[in-house]
């Protein structure tokens, strides 16, 4: 038995064909209910939906106080009565004929089955250049922030099925469109699979995706980063860096005043700073990665040196480019360089140094 959640905003014309296609697909296969969550559409989609609920197993929620695809799905989830949930758009860009494939994945034990444009049998349909570019950028950002989704091809999909109990006690707080991303990052699941489908043409009306959704997406990523602790990890990483820098200066000063040539004191200072960074990060910022044992720690230490050497080169490159090519004051260039190198070092630590 499945609950099919369909968020709508001005989709009046699409509801009838949508329900017809769902019905003819599932009639002999599955008991189902459709839950339309409409945000008080000016075209009165909700009214049309209520009419259709005489002929189809359809529940209609008309939200008057809130808008947004993501929260609409969360609202539909609360109204749903079955253990397997499917989320799909109303405009027929997601083919209802694929619902059985998604659902059978779940029945075979998968926790989340994603309708995917980027696996075998998938097709991304007609996408303009601009939208493709945005989609790439959006993907890249999310993948850099969250390790958990790195093996999933279509993280932006709006067509998917899942077991309801994986979101049991999780607070879902999506902002904007990406309810799947919210679930992939916050829910408690083991197995994900992807089922190819062709992203069709919109059958009627127009897309609501606009500039505002880009901002929403960034806000959503920020909120997820806070909730998953990635922001605080970054802060810890910076504090570790600051401690290392102070130590570097103190060691350089002490060795030099006790007679060592400043250049050698500096080199030792750098290495001490590096080691201090490393161990503070090991015990604090990257504690959850649980790196221990001579071999793993040694490898991480080696990797950290490689990453940070790259950071120094990057810093120098920025310093030179901004100062000599673009005419910035050298200390400004250096500050920008430090900022960029910090991001590089953090990325390197997050994606490589502390990997098992």
The contact set with Mn ion (CB under 5 A) reads 89, 91, 93
Backbone angles phi, psi at 314, to 5 degrees: -60, -45
DSSP for 220-282, written as a single string: HHHHHHHHTTHHHHHHHHHHHHHHHHHHHHHHHHHHHHTT--HHHHHHHHHHHHHHHHHHHHH
**Smallest separation (angstroms) from ligand GDD to the CB of 157:** 5
Site for ligand GDD in 106-165 (CB under 6 A): 156-158
- Spatial distance between the Cα atoms of 211 and 10, rounded to a whole number of angstroms: 18
- Spatial distance between the Cα atoms of 340 and 336, rounded to a whole number of angstroms: 6
Q: Which is closer to ligand GDD, CB of 209 or CB of 340?
A: 209
User: Total binding residues for ligand GDD by CB under 6 A?
Assistant: 23
**Smallest separation (angstroms) from ligand GDD to the CB of 30:** 21
Report the 10 Å Cβ neighbour count for 131: 13
At 135 the three-state DSSP class reads helix
Q: Which is closer to ligand GDD, CB of 117 or CB of 350?
A: 117
- Least Cα distance to 86 among 31, 20, 46, 123 occurs for 31
- Spatial distance between the Cα atoms of 21 and 100, rounded to a whole number of angstroms: 12
Site for ligand GDD in 66-85 (CB under 6 A): 67-69, 72
**Residues 35-64: x where in contact with ligand GDD by CB under 6 A, - otherwise, as a string:** --xxx-------------------------
Backbone angles phi, psi at 339, to 5 degrees: -60, -50
**Smallest separation (angstroms) from Mn ion to the CB of 38:** 15
Give yes or no for a contact between 1 and 83, defined as CB atoms under 8 angstroms apart. yes
Q: In what order do the strands lie in the sheet with 192-196?
A: 58-62, 32-38, 2-8, 84-87, 160-163, 112-116, 192-196
Site for ligand GDD in 204-263 (CB under 6 A): 207-209
Pick the binder of ligand GDD from 3, 4, 9, 49 (CB under 6 A): 9
Pick the binder of ligand GDD from 2, 7, 114, 182 (CB under 6 A): 7
**Smallest separation (angstroms) from ligand GDD to the CB of 351:** 25
**Smallest separation (angstroms) from ligand GDD to the CB of 122:** 11
172 binds ligand GDD (CB under 6 A): no
- In the list ligand GDD, Mn ion, none, the entry touching 156 (Cβ below 5 to 8 angstroms by class) is ligand GDD
278 binds ligand GDD (CB under 6 A): no
Q: Which is closer to ligand GDD, CB of 156 or CB of 186?
A: 156
Residue ranges in contact with ligand GDD by CB under 6 A: 7-9, 11, 37-39, 67-69, 72, 89-91, 93, 156-158, 177, 199, 207-209
């Amino acid at each position: 038995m499945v609950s099919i959640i369909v968020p709508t905003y001005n989709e009046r014309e699409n509801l009838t064909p949508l329900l017809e296609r769902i019905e003819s697909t599932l009639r002999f296969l599955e008991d189902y209910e459709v839950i339309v969550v409409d945000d008080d559409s000016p075209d009165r989609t909700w009214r049309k939906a209520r009419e259709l609920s005489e002929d189809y197993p359809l529940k209609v929620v008309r939200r008057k106080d809130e808008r947004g695809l993501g929260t609409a799905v969360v609202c539909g989830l609360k109204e749903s009565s079955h253990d397997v949930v499917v989320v799909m758009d109303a405009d027929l860009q997601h083919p209802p004929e694929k619902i059985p494939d998604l659902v059978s994945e779940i029945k075979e034990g998968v926790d989340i089955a994603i309708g995917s444009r980027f696996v075998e049998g998938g097709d991304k349909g007609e996408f303009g250049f601009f939208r493709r570019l945005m989609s790439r950028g959006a993907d890249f950002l999310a993948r850099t922030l969250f390790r958990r989704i790195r093996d999933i091809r279509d993280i932006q999909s709006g067509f998917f099925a899942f077991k309801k109990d994986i979101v049991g006690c999780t607070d879902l707080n999506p902002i904007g469109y990406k309810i799947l991303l919210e679930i992939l990052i916050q829910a408690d699941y083991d197995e994900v699979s992807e089922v190819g489908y062709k992203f069709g043409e919109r059958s009627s009306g127009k897309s609501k995706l606009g500039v505002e959704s880009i901002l929403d997406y960034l806000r959503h990523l920020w909120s997820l980063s806070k909730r998953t602790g990635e922001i605080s990890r970054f802060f810890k990483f910076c504090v570790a860096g600051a401690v290392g820098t102070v130590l570097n200066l103190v060691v350089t000063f002490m060795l030099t005043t006790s007679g060592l040539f400043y250049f050698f004191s500096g080199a030792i200072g750098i290495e001490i700073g590096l080691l201090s960074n490393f161990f503070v990060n090991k015990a604090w910022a990257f504690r959850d990665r649980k790196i221990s044992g001579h071999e793993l720690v040694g490898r991480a230490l080696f990797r950290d040196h490689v990453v940070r050497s790259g950071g120094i080169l990057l810093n120098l490159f920025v310093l030179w480019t901004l100062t000599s090519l673009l005419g910035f004051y050298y200390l400004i260039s250096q500050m920008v360089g430090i900022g960029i190198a910090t991001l590089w070092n953090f990325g390197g630590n997050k994606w490589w140094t502390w990997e098992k």
